[in-house]
Amino acid sequence: MSESYREIRKLIRADLHRYYGRCDFRVLAKELLFGAGFKYTFWMRHLKYFQAKSFLFAPLALFSRFMYRRYVFKFGFEIAHIAEIGPGLMIGHCGQVIVHPKVVIGRNCNISQGVTIGVSNRGENAGVATVGDDVYIGPGAKIIGKISIGNRVAIGANAVVTKDVPDDGVVVGIPAKLISYKGSEGYINNTDYEE
Domain boundary among 23, 57, 75: 75
**How does pLDDT run across 180-194, given as a tens digit for each residue?**
999 999 999 999 887
pLDDT of residue 195: 64
Residue 195 falls within a domain, yes or no? no
CA distance 130 to 86: 12
Q: Are residues 83 and 58 in the same domain?
A: no
Q: Are residues 94 and 178 in the same domain?
A: yes
Domains held by the chain: number: 2
Residue 194 falls within a domain, yes or no? no
Q: Are residues 59 and 132 in the same domain?
A: no
CA distance 148 to 158: 18
Residue 54 falls within a domain, yes or no? yes
pLDDT-derived band of residue 152, with 50, 70 and 90 as boundaries?
very high
Given a contact cutoff of 8 angstroms between Cβ atoms, the answer to whether 25 and 18 are in contact is no
* Composition of the chain by helix, strand, coil, percent to 5: 30, 20, 50
Q: Are residues 33 and 115 in the same domain?
A: no
103 pLDDT higher than 60: yes
Given a contact cutoff of 8 angstroms between Cβ atoms, the answer to whether 104 and 149 are in contact is no
Chain-centroid distance, C-alpha 163: 20
Q: Are residues 179 and 83 in the same domain?
A: yes
Given a contact cutoff of 8 angstroms between Cβ atoms, the answer to whether 60 and 68 are in contact is no
DSSP tag of 56: G
Residue 193 falls within a domain, yes or no? no
Q: Are residues 127 and 58 in the same domain?
A: no
Task: Give pTM, 2 decimals.
Answer: 0.91
**How does pLDDT run across 2-11, given as a tens digit for each residue?**
578 889 999 9
Residue 68 falls within a domain, yes or no? yes
Q: Are residues 71 and 86 in the same domain?
A: no
